[in-house]
Amino acid sequence: MEDISFYVSSNLKRLRELRNLSREELAEITGLSKLQVSNFEVNLSPLSVSHLYYFAQKLEYPLLYFFDGLPLPSYPESPDQVLDEISHVSMLEALALIKIYNSLPPEQKKAAKSYFRRLGTP
């Protein structure tokens, strides 16, 4: 359980850095103190589900981001087993690709869509 808490805390820090925010700025956005943000990031104060939900809302990221990279639980005959076998692109990588895509001019976006549709066609 402690490993998961540490992992989630690390993802909070990664998300803050991805958004180019200082701890002070994140504290201001969330209404928390800089010390509270710091304690959450280094896992001195465990993040509750309520805190995770709040951070996800304030940073406009999916709640699942905080669990990105953790292995999926394995259930017999479940869709999770299929997902485990598929090449995994982390949510962070997917968000980075979306950011790049959104910065493209319209003509390049159209070409990129066409290219990816062709890749997905058997």
- Kindly state whether residues 63 and 83 are assigned to the same domain: no
CA pair distance 105, 91, nearest whole angstrom: 24
Local confidence band at 90 (pLDDT 50, 70, 90 cut-offs): low
CATH code, domain with 13? 1.10.260.40
Q: What pTM does this model have?
A: 0.59
Residue length of the chain: 122
Per residue in 20-64, pLDDT (tens digit) is: 999 999 999 999 999 999 999 999 998 888 999 999 999 888 888
Check residues 64 and 71 and name the one with the higher pLDDT. Answer: 64
Examine residue 72 and state whether it is found in any structural domain, yes or no.
no
Cβ contacts of residue 14 below 8 Å, gap of 6+?
92
Average pLDDT of the residues in 66-70: 80
- Kindly state whether residues 63 and 84 are assigned to the same domain: no
- Kindly state whether residues 7 and 32 are assigned to the same domain: yes
CB neighbourhood size of 83 (10 A): 10
For the record, the structure tokens of 64 come out as 């699942």
